[in-house]
């Protein structure tokens, strides 16, 4: 008999019965999401569990009244407006320390939320500009304003340091696997407009601090496991328009304060455990348009005033066991007895939500669904915090179709009696503490379609009998301790669509029989100990969308049989797959390029000599052997681009810039449908721009500048709607500018300067609202500038109305040119093919050199080039230089005193070289210096205060040198300092008291020196540190109780400091701590139980002390702990099993990290 959905008008005089399978469609008819907006209503149908019906009461529901779109649009990316650079005052620059801190916060999120495993992580953890990182949007000042990483496989806890993104207006982490609580500090994001954390695994209470978000318009916390009461502070959110708290474990009465939200339009509260009635204050919600509640609350009455709301639609969600027809009665025997046995075994007596012992004869048993004969058909006891074992009597429920005991704390083995449930279709025991082996009797469940035993402590081999469950569609056994091989019998599960065996200890090869499961869409075998090669049979899985084999011991090459399945979400990192060379058609394309461009004469690539297992120079492969990047820039190549380049079907980036390539651009490039970057600039290409480039739908950067291209710009370029940068400057293009480029909504750079274009400038260009740079200078154009209405466009001088081309700046001005060439030999650049300064043609830019519009050198980046020689004093003649990077080379000798003459320098990085001598005092004349990095050299002598007297400094790193003497107290005058690293030197004396002034300091590393004396100035004055390492500091005495004030600290290292006495229990307050090292001291007493409060800690090192007593059981609560070192103490007992289990589980899998940034 089908379950039903009743839909009625307010008179409730007629009901239409609709099968439960049509529930979602019925809701879709009731609810019409607002067009073009981020709308929480999209979750409703997805969140209604199987077998739940919906009852819609609505005013005029038969003719849905569409609501007006509002200002928050789904297509509204809130793209940052570019900075005004012409015709308007410039904004005050943001301090570099602030921008560096925001980059650090994002890096912390990447590291701690499993960034390498994200579905999309483009440019994260790279040196690319933040605005190019996936999901990151900056405002016009360069601050992070939006972070949108929904449905991206984020794991772990929400980092508390996200609260440092002070300009954040939108935070969307929905649809991931985040756990833990919401950091209360998110309530300090005073500009936040949208906060969406829905569809995760978040727990705990909703922080009252969210009530401080005065600008918040959308708050979506649905689909988590939040418990407790709804905080009354949410009633302070006057700007709130959408609030979704549905599908949680919230309880108590609904907060009447929610009736104080004057702008609220959408309110979802269904699928919770609310008691009482709908608050009368809801009658004040005059802007409300959608209200979704559990039907039992609606049945208790609505505030009278709500009936007069003109546009309100009320939706009552009815649980299936509330809508069942027939006589209400307890279960029939023998199910009655089986349930009462389960009542005792599962500890249900402590659960208020089950009435089995107290129900009257005419009262139904909750959490139990009966069939028409009174037999138990469904039993749902999930997420009740149950403690106990699964009783074997449960096998007596022979009519059971669904059994869900997930999300509890059940222990012991899975009883073999479950194999008696022959009618069972769904079995979910995930998220418990179950142990023991999988009973082979599971193979008797001949009706089973879904088996989820994930996130337990099950061990032993995976029984081959599971292969007998022919209807099985989903198999989830991940995050256990299963061992042995994957049974080949799984290949008999012909209906299987998803299989997840990840995070176990499985070994052996992947059975080829899995390749016969034609309906498979997702396979996850990651984080095991699997060996051998990837089966070629996987190429038969035509429906496969996701394959995760990461972090195993797989070898061999990626099977070419899988190429037809690409692109799919494929994860192979952390193996020993040894194919480093291209294969298939890509090989033909590269060798055609090799011959056509004369790469043999270049001697710059190893393609002819490299074998299958050696990396090919300048070729980037993805993890399954496809060529995705080809960079042959600045190699003085000659010849033509071969047509075979079109065979590189997976190519995403092609850079042939800065050569002497001639001939035409082959039309076959238009076949590269995944191409995102095409840079052919700075060559001698001729002919037309091929119209086939208009087929490159993914193209973001198209740079054909500085060539000899002619004829008109093809109109097909207007189809490239993903284009961000378009540069056709310095060619011989003719004709009119076509208006079609106004259809490129993401275009930020449009440079058509120095061509022979004529006619009017299209007025349609006023639609290019994302534009940041617009340059049409040096043409024969007429008319007014259509971008005048786009205030932030950088308009190059001379554009618009000027006739006749003029030369553009390619080389430095003579004075700077002389300074660079004077440095050429001193730095050994003649042995490096990476710069073209001596050979650059008149139309060719000098690489690794950045010029301003007047030809002055403003940035010189020669990092990581293997340079030797010494630092040339002539570089100091670059008096407009703002950034000098020479790190990671082999440069020796002293730092020239002349370097103090850089009048504009703000960044100086000479780290990781072989520099000797003292740090010259003349560096103190660099008034604009903000970033000084001289670490990992051989510098010696005392640190002269004058050398570091830079009032704007925010980074100072001098680690791993031979500096000696006292630490200059003048460092304490650098009140904007963010990072200070003096570790690994020979400094003596005490930490200067002036360090108390460093209120912006977040990273302090003084380890490995000869310092002594009190650490009081650190503990008492610098409570906002993220990292503190003073290892080897002879402080002595007890660790002060004030250490508990370091509320933001993630890394605390006090090793080898001579500390005595007990470990202060106040350390338990450091709830964001990731690593604690108190080793090599003389600490005594027992390990405080308060360390069990360090819910984020991963590494705990207490070795080489005088600690006594047992290891606290509370350490077993540290869910992320993966390393515990208590060796060389006087601990009395063995490590408790509970603690061992936690460490073992986390050390064999990637520990899910908590909230904090770190270095």
Closest to 113 (Cα-Cα) out of 137, 146, 138, 149:
149
By DSSP bridging, strand 914-917 and strand 938-942 are: parallel
The DSSP symbol for 604 reads -
CATH 3.80.10.10 residue ranges of the chain are 1-76+169-325, 335-571, 686-803, 809-893, 1027-1159
> 734 has which bridge partners?
756
By DSSP bridging, strand 144-148 and strand 136-138 are: antiparallel
CATH top-level class of 1027-1159 = alpha beta
Backbone angles phi, psi at 518, to 5 degrees: -65, -15
Q: What is the pLDDT of residues 375-406, one digit of tens each?
A: 788 888 887 777 888 888 888 888 899 999 88
What global pTM score does this model have?
Answer: 0.41
Which fold is adopted by the domain 1-76+169-325?
Answer: 3.80.10
In whole angstroms, give the CA distance from residue 876 to residue 12. Answer: 86
Residues 175, 180, 183, CA angle at the centre, nearest 5°?
A: 95
Closest to 519 (Cα-Cα) out of 536, 501, 540, 548:
540
The DSSP symbol for 1012 reads B
Q: Which residue has the tokens 């029984």?
A: 463
In whole angstroms, give the CA distance from residue 675 to residue 688. Answer: 20
Q: What is the CATH number of domain 809-893?
A: 3.80.10.10
Determine the pLDDT at residue 482. 95
Burial zone of 1137 (CB within 10 Å; 0-12 exposed, 13-18 middle, 19+ buried): exposed
In whole angstroms, give the CA distance from residue 309 to residue 256. Answer: 18
Task: Tell how far CA 725 is from the center of its chain.
Answer: 25
In whole angstroms, give the CA distance from residue 885 to residue 905. Answer: 11
Q: What is the CATH number of domain 335-571?
A: 3.80.10.10
Determine the pLDDT at residue 310. 61
Which parts of the chain register pLDDT below 50? Answer: 1-91, 318-329, 611-613, 791-792, 796-809, 843, 1149-1159
Instruction: Give Rg (Cα) of the chain.
Output: 33
Residue 393 has, within 13 A of its CA and on its CB side, a CA count of 16
Cα Dmax for the chain:
100
Closest to 279 (Cα-Cα) out of 326, 341, 234, 325:
234
Determine the pLDDT at residue 609. 59
The reply to whether CATH 3.30.1330.40 applies to domain 686-803 is: no
């Amino acid at each position: 008999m089908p379950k039903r959905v009743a839909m009625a008008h307010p008179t409730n005089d007629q009901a239409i019965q609709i099968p439960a399978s049509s529930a979602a469609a019925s809701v879709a008819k009731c609810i019409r999401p607002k067009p073009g907006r981020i709308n929480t209503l999209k979750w409703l149908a997805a969140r209604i569990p199987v077998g739940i019906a919906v009852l819609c009461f609505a005013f005029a529901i038969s003719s849905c009244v569409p609501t007006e779109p509002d200002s928050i649009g789904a297509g509204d990316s809130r793209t940052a407006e570019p900075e005004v650079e012409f015709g308007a005052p410039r904004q005050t620059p943001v301090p570099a320390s602030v921008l560096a801190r925001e980059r650090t916060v994002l890096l912390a999120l990447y590291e701690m939320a499993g960034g390498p495993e994200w579905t999309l992580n483009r440019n994260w953890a790279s040196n690319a500009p933040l605005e190019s990182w996936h999901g990151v949007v900056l405002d016009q000042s360069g601050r992070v304003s939006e972070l949108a990483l929904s449905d991206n496989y984020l794991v772990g806890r929400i980092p508390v340091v996200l609260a440092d993104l002070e300009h954040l207006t939108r935070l969307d982490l929905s649809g991931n696997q985040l756990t833990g609580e919401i950091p209360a500090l998110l309530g300090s994001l005073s500009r936040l407009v949208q906060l969406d954390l829905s569809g995760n695994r978040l727990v705990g209470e909703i922080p009252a601090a969210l009530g401080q978000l005065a600008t918040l318009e959308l708050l979506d916390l649905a689909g988590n496991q939040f418990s407790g009461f709804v905080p009354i502070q949410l009633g302070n959110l006057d700007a709130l328009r959408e609030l979704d708290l549905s599908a949680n474990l919230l309880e108590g009465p609904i907060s009447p304060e929610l009736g104080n939200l004057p702008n609220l339009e959408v309110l979802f509260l269904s699928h919770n455990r609310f008691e009482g009635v709908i608050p009368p204050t809801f009658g004040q919600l005059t802007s409300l348009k959608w209200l979704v509640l559990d039907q039992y609350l609606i049945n208790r009455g609505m505030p009278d005033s709500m009936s007069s709301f003109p546009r309100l639609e009320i939706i009552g969600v009815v649980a299936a066991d509330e809508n069942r027809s027939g006589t209400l009665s307890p279960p029939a025997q023998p199910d009655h007895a089986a349930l009462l046995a389960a009542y005792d075994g599962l500890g249900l007596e402590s659960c208020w939500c089950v009435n089995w012992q107290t129900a009257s004869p005419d009262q139904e048993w909750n959490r139990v669904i009966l069939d028409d004969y009174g037999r138990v058909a469904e039993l749902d006891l999930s997420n009740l915090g149950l403690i106990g074992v699964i009783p074997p009597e449960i096998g007596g429920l022979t009519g059971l179709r669904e059994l869900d005991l997930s999300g509890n704390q059940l222990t012991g083995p899975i009883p073999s009696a479950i194999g008696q449930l022959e009618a069972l279709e769904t079995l979910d025991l995930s998220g418990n503490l179950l142990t023991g082996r999988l009973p082979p009797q599971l193979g008797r469940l001949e009706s089973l379609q879904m088996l989820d035993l994930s996130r337990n402590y099950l061990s032993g081999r995976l029984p081959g009998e599971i292969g007998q469950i022919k209807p099985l569609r989903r198999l989830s056994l991940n995050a256990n301790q299963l061992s042995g091989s994957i049974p080949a019998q799984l290949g008999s599960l012909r209906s299987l669509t998803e299989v997840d065996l990840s995070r176990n200890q499985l070994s052996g090869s992947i059975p080829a029989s899995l390749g016969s499961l034609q309906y498979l869409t997702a396979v996850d075998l990651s984080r095991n100990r699997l060996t051998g090669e990837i089966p070629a049979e996987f190429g038969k899985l035509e429906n496969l969308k996701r394959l995760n084999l990461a972090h195993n011991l797989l070898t061999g090459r990626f099977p070419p049989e899988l190429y037809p399945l690409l692109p799919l979400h494929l994860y192979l990192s952390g193996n020993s797959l040894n194919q480093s060379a291209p294969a298939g058609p890509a090989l033909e394309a590269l060798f055609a390029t090799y011959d056509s461009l004369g790469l043999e004469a270049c001697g710059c690539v190893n393609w002819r000599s490299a074998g299958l297992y050696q990396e090919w120079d300048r070729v980037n492969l993805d993890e399954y052997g496809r060529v995705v990047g080809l960079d042959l820039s600045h190699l003085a190549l000659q010849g033509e681009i071969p047509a075979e380049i079109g065979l590189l079907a997976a190519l995403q980036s092609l850079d042939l810039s800065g050569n002497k390539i001639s001939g035409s651009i082959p039309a076959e490039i238009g076949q590269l449908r995944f191409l995102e970057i095409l840079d052919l600039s700075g060559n001698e290409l001729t002919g037309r721009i091929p119209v086939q480039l208009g087929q490159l739908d993914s193209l973001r950067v198209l740079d054909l500048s500085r060539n000899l291209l002619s004829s008109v710009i093809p109109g097909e370029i207007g189809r490239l709607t993903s284009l961000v940068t378009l540069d056709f400057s310095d060619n011989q293009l003719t004709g009119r500018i076509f208006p079609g480029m106004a259809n490129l909504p993401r275009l930020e750079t449009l440079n058509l300067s120095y061509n022979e274009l004529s006619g009017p400038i299209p007025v349609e260009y006023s639609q290019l609202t994302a534009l940041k740079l617009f340059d049409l200078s040096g043409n024969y154009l007429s008319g007014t500038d259509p971008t005048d209405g786009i205030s932030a466009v950088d308009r190059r001088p001379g554009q618009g109305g000027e006739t006749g081309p003029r030369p553009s700046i390619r080389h430095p001005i003579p004075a700077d040119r002389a300074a660079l060439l004077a440095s050429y030999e001193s730095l050994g650049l003649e042995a490096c093919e990476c710069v073209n300064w001596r050979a650059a043609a008149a139309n060719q830019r000098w690489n690794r050199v950045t010029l301003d519009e007047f030809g002055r050198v403003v940035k010189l980046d020669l990092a990581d080039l293997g340079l030797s020689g010494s630092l040339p004093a002539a570089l100091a003649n670059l008096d407009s230089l703002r950034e000098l990077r020479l790190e990671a080379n082999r440069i020796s000798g002293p730092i020239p005193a002349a370097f103090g003459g850089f009048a504009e320098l703000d960044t100086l990085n000479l780290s990781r070289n072989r520099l000797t001598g003292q740090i010259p005092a003349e560096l103190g004349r660099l008034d604009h210096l903000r970033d000084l990095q001289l670490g990992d050299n051989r510098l010696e002598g005392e640190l002269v205060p004058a050398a570091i007297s830079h009032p704007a400094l925010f980074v100072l790193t001098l680690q791993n040198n031979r500096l000696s003497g006292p630490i200059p107290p003048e460092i304490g005058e650098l009140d904007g300092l963010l990072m200070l690293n003096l570790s690994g030197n020979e400094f003596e004396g005490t930490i200067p008291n002036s360090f108390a002034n460093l209120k912006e300091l977040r990273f302090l590393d003084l380890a490995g020196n000869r310092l002594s004396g009190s650490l009081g100035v650190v503990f008492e004055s610098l409570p906002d540190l993220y990292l503190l390492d003073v290892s080897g500091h002879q402080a002595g005495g007890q660790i002060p109780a004030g250490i508990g004030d370091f509320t933001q600290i993630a890394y605390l290292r006090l090793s080898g400091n001579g500390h005595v006495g007990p470990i202060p229990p106040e350390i338990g307050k450091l709830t964001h701590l990731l690593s604690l090292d108190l080793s090599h001291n003389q600490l005594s007493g027992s390990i405080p139980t308060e360390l069990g409060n360090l819910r984020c800690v991963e590494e705990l090192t207490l070795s080489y002390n005088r600690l006594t007593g047992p290891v606290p059981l509370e350490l077993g609560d540290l869910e992320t702990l993966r390393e515990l070192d208590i060796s060389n103490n006087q601990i009395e007992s063995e490590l408790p099993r509970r603690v061992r289990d936690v460490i073992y589980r986390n050390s064999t899998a990637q520990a899910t990290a908590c909230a904090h940034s770190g270095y």
